[in-house]
């Protein structure tokens, strides 16, 4: 009975989209202005400088990954991916940490502004590329995808909510907390993070956004960089890939 009641309780807090639930005129004007001058561009530029100073830039990254510099954009478009020398499916930020360890430097925390900025810069190298994640490439990426899908769909917490509770086909388009709930594939969510969040006045990553959703839903927050979080990123990125959404970093979110 509970499984039936919880989605109903969630739906009861929602309404169908309409002008009364859309952005205010002031917010809409601010959003339009930021589309032309995304504040996150500053973070991306800063991330490039930090990346060059701390890690040696694109040449060092290409060497670590075993690819040519001019191959980086397409290779980056395949993240998260299995990296043999790390023995795991990892995100780009974890690769940057591994590079720091290899170079004998202090690791930058995954949840730090510097890491968010470096991640945004490196991922922006793949702008206009389509994701190239092949979930059948090996057993590791397949397992990560399966774990991500399971994490996305499995109800948790006292309310019995999951990511799917707000992003299933029968919920998409309704409004929750003044925002229409998007189809994550059609909106290309996986291809537009890191992004500047207007409501937070800061740069956020996809995994950090996952954490925000979990916190709002009163769910136990899964750590950034965990197998579950990386799996979620794999799954959501493949939704953008299926809808042929090109990578566009930095994004802009309300």
- Provide mean pLDDT across the span 227-231: 98
The most distant pair of C-alpha atoms in the chain lies apart, rounded to whole Å, by 57
Strand segments, DSSP code E, in 59-216 are: 81-83, 88-90, 174-176, 179-180, 195-197, 202-204
Q: Which residue has the higher pLDDT, 106 or 178?
A: 106
Domain extent at residue 108: 2-253
Distance CA 6, CA 70 (A): 50
Distance CA 64, CA 16 (A): 49
210 and 84 Cβ atoms separated by less than 8 Å: no
pLDDT at 71: 98
H-only helix segments in 90-158: 92-102, 113-124, 139-153
74-78, 127-131, 132-136, 196-200: the lowest-pLDDT one = 196-200
pLDDT at 7: 46
Tens digits of per-residue pLDDT, 187-207? 999 999 999 998 889 999 999
CATH number, position 162? 1.10.760.10
Answer yes or no: is pLDDT of 19 > 60.
no
**Total tally of structural domains belonging to the chain:** 1
- Provide mean pLDDT across the span 58-73: 98
Answer yes or no: is pLDDT of 10 > 50.
no
Q: Which two tokens stand for residue 117?
A: 């900025």
Distance CA 211, CA 200 (A): 14
Count of C-beta atoms within a 10 Å radius of residue 204: 21
Confidence grade of residue 43 (pLDDT, cut at 50, 70, 90): very high
What H or E segment, with its residue span, contains residue 63?
helix 57-65
Cα angle for residues 164, 166, 170 (degrees, 5° grid): 85
- Provide mean pLDDT across the span 96-118: 97
What H or E segment, with its residue span, contains residue 251?
strand 251-253
pLDDT at 3: 38
Whole-prediction pTM value? Answer: 0.85
């Amino acid at each position: 009975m509970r499984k039936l009641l919880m989605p109903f309780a969630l739906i009861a807090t929602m309404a169908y989209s309409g002008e009364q639930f859309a952005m205010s005129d002031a917010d809409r004007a601010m959003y339009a202005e930021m589309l032309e001058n995304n504040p996150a561009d500053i973070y991306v530029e800063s991330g490039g400088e930090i990346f060059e100073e701390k890690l040696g830039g694109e040449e060092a990254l290409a060497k670590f990954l075993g690819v040519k510099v001019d191959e980086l954009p397409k290779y980056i478009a395949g993240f998260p991916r299995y990296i043999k020398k790390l023995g795991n499916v990892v995100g780009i930020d974890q690769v940057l940490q591994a590079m720091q360890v290899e170079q004998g430097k202090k690791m930058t925390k995954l949840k730090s502004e510097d890491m968010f900025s470096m991640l945004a810069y490196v991922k922006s190298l793949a702008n206009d590329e389509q994701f190239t994640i092949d979930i059948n490439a090996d057993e590791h990426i397949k397992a990560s995808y399966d774990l991500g899908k399971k994490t996305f769909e499995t109800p948790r917490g006292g309310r019995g909510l999951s990511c799917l509770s707000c992003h299933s086909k029968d919920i998409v388009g309704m409004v929750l907390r003044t925002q229409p709930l998007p189809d994550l594939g059609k909106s290309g969510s996986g291809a537009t993070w890191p992004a500047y969040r207007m409501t937070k006045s800061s740069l956020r990553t996809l995994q950090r956004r996952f954490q925000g959703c979990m916190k709002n839903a009163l769910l136990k927050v899964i750590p950034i960089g965990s197998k579950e979080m990386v799996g979620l990123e794999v799954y959501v990125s493949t939704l953008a890939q299926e809808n042929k959404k090109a990578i566009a970093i930095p994004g802009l979110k309300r």
